[in-house]
Amino acid sequence: MSATVNFTGSVDRDLLRRAKVIAAKADTSVNALFNAELRHLVETFEAAETVGNQNFRTLLDFSLGKIDDLSAMAALGIDSAEDLFLLMVQAHLPMPRLPDSLTKTMVDVLNTLPLGTAHGG
C-alpha cells in the first residue's frame, strides 16, 4: 500500500459544497471522491500514453480548454460534436466551460435580441 501525503489545493466554494452533498449521499468523504477521480484520471492517462495513444491527451486538452472542439474533432478523426461528447463521457471527463467573459458576451448579445426573435415568434 502506498503512503499518503497531505497537500493543499483550492477549489470553488460551490463545487466543494456540492461534493460534500454527494459524499454524504454516498456515505463517503470528499477526500475519497477526490482520490478516486484523480486515480482514474492518472491511470487512464498513463495507460493511453503507454500504448502511444494520444486520444486521451486530446480529450483532456479539450476538457481543460487548451484546444477548441474543432481542433479536438480533427485530432480524433471525428466529424460531429455528438461523437466528441460521447467520447468525453466514455473518458469520464467533463466538458469544458466557456470563459466567464465569453459567456457574459453571449448573454449580452442574446439580451439585445427582440423578445419575439428569442422565442421563435
The domain locations on the chain are 12-53, 54-121
28 pLDDT tier (thresholds 50, 70, 90): very high
Q: In the structure, what pLDDT confidence band is assigned to residue 118 with cuts at 50, 70 and 90? A: low
Query: Which of 1-5, 46-50, 81-85 is modeled with the greatest confidence?
Result: 81-85
Average pLDDT over residues 44-63: 90
pLDDT at 1: 64
Q: Would you state the pLDDT for residue 24?
A: 96
Give this prediction's pTM.
Answer: 0.62
User: Which pLDDT does position 61 carry in this prediction?
Assistant: 93
Rounded Cα distance between 79 and 16, Å, is 36
DSSP secondary structure letters along 88-110: HHHTT-PPPPPPHHHHHHHHHHH
Per-residue pLDDT at 48: 83
